[in-house]
Chains A and B, each alone.
Chain A
Amino acid sequence: MNAIQELSRRRVLRGVLGGAAVTVGLPFLDCFLNTNGTALASGQALPTCFGSWFWGLGLNPGRWEPKQVGKIVDLGEELKALEPYKDKINVYSGMKVYLDGRPLITHYSGDWSLLTGTTPREERVEIPSIDVLIGDVIGTRTRFRSLEVAATGNATHSYSRRAGAALNPAETSPVGLYTRVFGPEFKDPNAADFTPDPAVMARQSVLSAITEQRADIQKHLGAADKARLDEYFSSLRQIEQQLDIELQKPAPLEACTTPAKAEEMPPGTEIETVQNNHKLFAAILAHALACNQTRVVNITFSDATSSLRKQGSSMTEHVQSHEEAIDPQLGYQPNVTYFMERVMEGFAATLASLEAIKEGDGTLLDRMLIMASSDTGYAKVHSLENIPLLTAGKAGGKMKTGIHVSAKGDPGTRVGLTVQQAMGVPINSWGTDSMQTAKTITEVMA
């Protein structure tokens, strides 16, 4: 049986339903599309997509929270860059990370607790992050299960992990990302012609040889190494799936266009470089989502121990967060705050890239949900209180937006729980110990 035969509608449906993705739209293959490509043939909307957006060192308490709870009227000063999108975002203030007696691993405990639901005991996390949990429900039938990028140009500045001790490495160069997604193996869904490539079928033949040896390989392994091998094979399946997809004529997608080829930019942590690379990444990712190459993107603007810096300055944002004096007139650290404002401009730039993709009457952002999070509340004192959390997008109608939720002292995992439920992950509780919560943020659920 060749790959085309394997991908019968029945098999695809069975695969998705088997994965408990009952709340998600039908798999996004050509046979299901309506004629104008804006919705599935069944009348269902285009599929929802997820994004995580991470930055380091939080924001200054008291300077970012909207004054009023409920409908967002005025954003705090440090969220000013998001003014054009204030009806498309939600702001969650007052939430925290509980240590439950564990050591505070600075710039590590907070971020990973919010992203995995469990506060780490040591500098080592072995459970999946929220994007992976969501991707397993919505992203299993696309060419890439997820795409990770780090605007700081460091592959380890990733806040996504599946299992085992390793991170899902981030793309460090926009050109690298472009080539990976829109290089020779990209099948333009709007191309008139489609011919299955025999070379792709040839690759399938040799990859199946690896899978056939699986039983031989694992017979000598202990449980921990067997789990690592399982992860390997789960990753290998992604390649096999990419080949399956390359042999299918893709669904025409009106909004899918190939982005302009990115120019090679030197990586670095100087703020202008990070801003430029981030913009290039965001544009490519938006096109990748519009072209249904992936449904999950993970963007790192700055690492938890923020290495952002200004050219000519001897200090990174992180060093400044500890050493810069609070300006007595302003009441905050001016240089650190400079970076925080640039970070939020970065988030606005991501949203702009998604808004730039028009789909019918709306934009790509409408069928997305992005969760933005950080590692600390007040970085100057490594505080885990009032860590800023934001979401953007309506998740295809599952979320209400333009709302400020204040939940002082609640575990920040409430946002993660709500986001997962909006994306169709079948859970009613998430997290462990004091980070465990079953309290969905109903104010933002449509």
Chain B
Amino acid sequence: MKMSIEKPARGKIILGAVLAACTAPLALMALPHAKADDSAQVAGPVAMRRLTQDEYKQIIEDVFGPTVTLGGRFEPDMRDAGLMAVGASQVSVTASGIEQYDTMARKIASQVVDEQHRASMIPCKPADPKAADDACAKQFLAKAGKLLYRRPLSDHELQTEVAGANAAATKVKDFYAGLGLALASLLEAPQFLFRQEVAEPDPDHSGQYRLDAYSKASRLSFFLWDSAPDAQLLQAAESGELNTGRGMAKQVDRMMASPRLEAGVRAFFSDMLGFDAFENLAKDRTLYPKFNPRVASDAEEQTLKTIVQVVLTDNGDYRDLFTTRKTFLTQALASIYKVPIAPPDGAWNAWVPYEYPADAEQAGILTEASFVGLHSHPGRSSPTIRGKALRTTILCEKVPDPPGNVNFTVVQDTNNPQYKTARERVTAHRTEPTCAGCHKLIDPIGLGMENFDTIGGFRTTENGAPIDASGELDGVKFADAIGLGRAVHDNAAVPACLVNRIYEYAVGHKPNKAEGEWLKSDLEKEFASNGYRVPALMRAVATSDAFYRVTPPTTGAIDAPTPKFADANSKQETAK
């Protein structure tokens, strides 16, 4: 079931508005120049990433505005090396997937050209609305195409699209219907669905390659804003500004200062924490009647709000996410957590900031339903699943699969098959040698969260027996979830994991050896020295040379001429 989450308000770039001149002066902060990492060997592959569901939705909203709705469903994104962003570099589009993209594209396009929207979206009128109009189709498709493809269309691309629009308009005797179909074809074309990066020789470093300016703009924009470049960023690419350290820094500053940075932070953490799993999260309705889709959606949003508050609004220490007593609650969540909140009058589902008292048993995002609930069975908690999730998502460790043909009879006392607590159930795992190797790494930390049932409700007993939530994380002993949170906060693998994840998220691949060394020698240290501030880390990535330096693909014509962008129509939209 798809949960809807409240999106934060953010500036909308509606196509109509984009067509107007962008004259707003830039409020620039101090301009740190591009960080010149000294290791010229740090270069990753160019990527071809399929848009994730959220990126697709965000682009549609940015380009066409919030009144244009999506229909249909997306192909599932794929997680690799812990991130959808990395999986996106490996997936293609299946036959049933393209059907869905086709359906969605036609639905979106038909709204854009309908009578309600066409005046604001289409910058011209056809000479005859019942016939093809080459000039008007060209004007519109060049503009829309540039925003959707994240670069100007080549002459050939534009010609074929316009020819398609004209042929379609002639067949159905309707200019707007033909234009809508051509727009739909842009929306299901590989140039839109895939973020295709292009390498070019780096004129400043002989023998090296860098992303071309439009590819740089996309990498930057999807990283910081979870969406396609806006008109200003495209202009900076077109003018060559993005190829200078100063120009790049100026754009990074602008984007870091924008409220849209929140979308980028949310998208990264949603990916890292595996929040896509909320889509299929189900709990047993008989055992947990309080759980419903609204609660699931609130649980996801609670943690995202907490993250935004700590790492962005307060510009705090990333590690405080695991110990903070501050959070946000709705009435539905408060009821599960059994804490009293006072929502504003009549606003039953309003978000209310809440701070747990100093002696509370809850603190940090590991005690929120988005963690303990997401990593549980439908009907009961699971120290093993939770422990494994903590190891893999927060500490970036790999937990091996269980061995085959295990004799599970040792785990069972047939005289007393119903162990009362999870600790009793999983202790047997750790006494069986073939299981113990891994379970001793995951169970003791998972048991630290046993005071939270499968939907995140606090409890002190299970089946009438008291819960012992003590455990150990990498040699650090703790008594309960509060102690576990502190142990996570102080664990050196936690910030190192975040640095790796954020870089992998930004570039869409697992770091190669040189990249890995650079992350360790530079970024991890820098992250520590700036007090584990996430925005500073994002800025460091975004302004590093390594972020834009690439190894060219093994085949393909790197030196092939770039498309000719000089088109009168496409220039208009960025004219001052």
Contacts and interface: CB of A to CB of B under 8 A. Distances in A.
Contact of A166 (B92, B106, B157): B92
A202 B76 contact: no
Contacts of B171: 198-199, 201-202, 205
B94 A166 contact: yes
Given A210-B185, A315-B380, A235 B95 contact: yes
A242 B15 CA distance: 32
Interface string B155-172: 011001101110111011
From B156, B172, B407, name the one whose CB has the most chain A CB atoms within 10 angstroms. Answer: B172
A166 B91 contact: yes
Nearest to A170: B96
A234 to B, nearest CB: 8
Contacts of A312: 284, 286-287
A222 interface: yes
Interface string B63-98: 000000000010110101000000100111111111
B178 interface: yes
B157 A216 contact: yes
Contacts of B190: 210, 217, 229, 232
Interface in B134-175: 154, 156-157, 160-161, 163-165, 167-169, 171-172
B406 A382 contact: yes
A311 B414 contact: no
A108 to B, nearest CB: 8
B92 A228 contact: yes
B103 to A, nearest CB: 9
Contacts of B163: 205, 209
Contact of A213 (B157, B181, B198): B157
B554 interface: yes
Interface string A173-186: 00010001000000
Interface string B176-190: 011001101100111
Contacts of B412: 323, 325
Nearest to B563: A216
A146 B96 CA distance: 8
A216 B154 contact: yes
B223 to A, nearest CB: 20
Interface string A127-152: 00000000000000000111110000
A209 B160 contact: yes
B93 to A, nearest CB: 5
Band of interface residues on A: 35 or more
Interface in B530-576: 553-558, 560, 563
Interface in A364-407: 380-384
B570 to A, nearest CB: 17
Interface in B95-143: 95-99, 102, 106
B196 A221 contact: yes
A193 interface: no
B377 A315 contact: yes
A433 B5 CA distance: 48
Interface in A36-79: none
Contacts of B405: 104, 381-383
A195 interface: no
Nearest to A233: B190
A169 interface: yes
B209 to A, nearest CB: 12
Interface in A87-134: 99, 103-106, 123-124
Contacts of A169: 75-76, 94, 96-97
5 contacts: A165-B80, A165-B90, A176-B73, A202-B177, A313-B379
Given A216-B154, A316-B378, 18 more contacts: A105-B401, A146-B96, A164-B92, A166-B91, A169-B94, A169-B97, A207-B164, A209-B164, A213-B191, A222-B46, A222-B555, A226-B555, A228-B90, A228-B92, A231-B94, A235-B93, A235-B97, A326-B414
Interface of B: 1, 45-46, 48, 73, 75-76, 78, 80, 87, 90-99, 102, 106, 154, 156-157, 160-161, 163-165, 167-169, 171-172, 177-178, 181-182, 184-185, 188-191, 193-194, 196, 198-199, 280, 282, 284-287, 377-380, 400-409, 411-412, 414, 417, 425, 454, 553-558, 560, 563
